[in-house]
């Protein structure tokens, strides 16, 4: 076993122990912080899904991804994970759902078709006003090319 793989194994063991401690104390933000530092997206996702306040932690992760993470590939993977968690939750939870963050993630990941589908879904639901607000935000804040792709 090389010294690099020994270090990696030791780090994984140590972080797993710390995750367990944080879970038992209810410190999900600490788990996310450690997991982000270790680039353990699986642990970030698990913390969000095990939390009693997943919406709050999704927002926290979104802020970290868009304002702190400099590595584009890692940031993209974190945003994809956040979107995946939102998609899984969407079937069971419709209230207290941050459609604005979903639209922003679509923009960051360059998914205009997904934004368009979200917009159409919102317009056909009780959340139609949210749909209109997202449309106004897209026109006001996003790039013209992206806006055109959402419309088409």
45 in the same domain as 2: yes
115 in the same domain as 90: no
* pLDDT at site 89: 83
108 in the same domain as 76: no
75 in the same domain as 23: yes
> Per-residue b/e over 111-144, b at no fewer than 16 CB within 10 Å?
bbebbbebbeebeeeebeebbeebbeebeeebee
Does the pLDDT value for residue 94 go beyond 60?
no
Interval 16-22 mean pLDDT: 88
User: What is the count of structural domains for the chain?
Assistant: 2
Domain boundary among 97, 122, 137: 97
Report residue 135 CA to chain centroid gap.
21
Domain that holds residue 15: 1-97
pLDDT tier, 5 (very low <50, low <70, confident <90, very high otherwise): confident
pLDDT tier, 129 (very low <50, low <70, confident <90, very high otherwise): very high
115 in the same domain as 85: no
The answer to whether the beta carbons of residues 144 and 136 sit under 8 Å apart is no
Interval 15-26 mean pLDDT: 89
Four-point Cα dihedral 81, 113, 137, 126, nearest 10: -90
52 in the same domain as 27: yes
38 in the same domain as 75: yes
Tens digits of per-residue pLDDT, 37-63? 889 999 999 999 999 999 999 999 999
- The rounded mean pLDDT for the chain is 88
62 in the same domain as 117: no
Kindly report the pTM of this predicted structure.
0.84
28 in the same domain as 79: yes
DSSP letters of 77-101?
A: HHHHHHHHHHHHHHTT--SS--HHH
82 in the same domain as 52: yes
* pLDDT at site 87: 87
pLDDT tier, 152 (very low <50, low <70, confident <90, very high otherwise): confident
């Amino acid at each position: 076993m090389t010294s690099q793989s020994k270090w990696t194994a030791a780090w994984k063991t140590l972080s797993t122990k710390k995750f367990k401690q944080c879970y038992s104390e209810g410190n999900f933000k600490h788990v996310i912080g450690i997991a982000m530092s270790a680039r353990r997206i699986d642990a970030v996702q698990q913390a969000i899904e095990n939390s009693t306040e997943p919406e709050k932690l999704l927002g926290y992760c979104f802020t970290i991804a868009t304002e702190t993470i400099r590595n584009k590939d890692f940031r993209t993977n974190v945003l994809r994970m956040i979107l995946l968690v939102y998609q899984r939750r969407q079937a069971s939870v419709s209230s207290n759902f941050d459609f604005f963050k979903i639209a922003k993630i679509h923009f960051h990941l360059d998914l205009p078709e997904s934004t368009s589908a979200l917009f159409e879904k919102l317009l056909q639901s009780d959340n139609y006003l949210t749909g209109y607000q997202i449309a106004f935000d897209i026109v006001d804040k996003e790039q013209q090319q992206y806006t055109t792709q959402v419309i088409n």
